[in-house]
Amino acid sequence: MPVYRLYASEDGATHIEPLGTEDFSFENGPGEFKGVGGMVLGDASRVLLMRFEAGVQPSLHRANPGLAVLLEGELTVAASGSSEVALRPGDAIRVESTGRRGWAPRNPGESLALTAISQMPSGGRD
């Protein structure tokens, strides 16, 4: 399952890069829980579902920090630094504080796209 990071550089431009889960340390439990791991990507402050109608193409706008997981449909996420990524169901993107030039989540598909977003307080990369 691909996971991505949307972040703003010092000049305010936003960018997207792969965020490999193998780069994070997973906590392993004792006994029968060995091999079962968890990873904290931030402190969630609110969880919401966001629906994108078919063909919706919003321009770049401010993004709230959080972790978005695409549940259904297709979504293309564009950043101001000209990078973009196509998400499929099960893919996730960690959105960091992006300032005014944020992101543009767009639905290129013919049916709605549904995401689950866990909003987090502003902050840098863990």
The pLDDT of residue 122: 67
Asked if 109 contacts 70 with a C-beta cutoff of 8 angstroms, the reply is no
In this structure, what token pair is assigned to residue 17?
A: 């890069």
Tokens encoding 88: 């499929």
Which is more confident, 83 or 47?
83
**Structure-derived torsion over alpha carbons of residues 76, 78, 63, 4, reported in degrees to the nearest 10:** 70
Question: Which is the CATH superfamily of the domain at 3-21+40-119?
Answer: Jelly Rolls (2.60.120.10)
In the chain, domain spans: 3-21+40-119
pLDDT of 74 above 90: yes
Rounded to an integer, the average pLDDT of 88-94 is 93
Q: Bridge-partner residues for 50, per DSSP?
A: 115
Residue 66 reports pLDDT greater than 90: no
As a whole number, the mean pLDDT across the chain is 79
Least confident of 16-25, 78-87, 96-105, 115-124: 16-25
pLDDT exceeds cutoff 70 at 111 = yes
- The model's pTM is 0.69
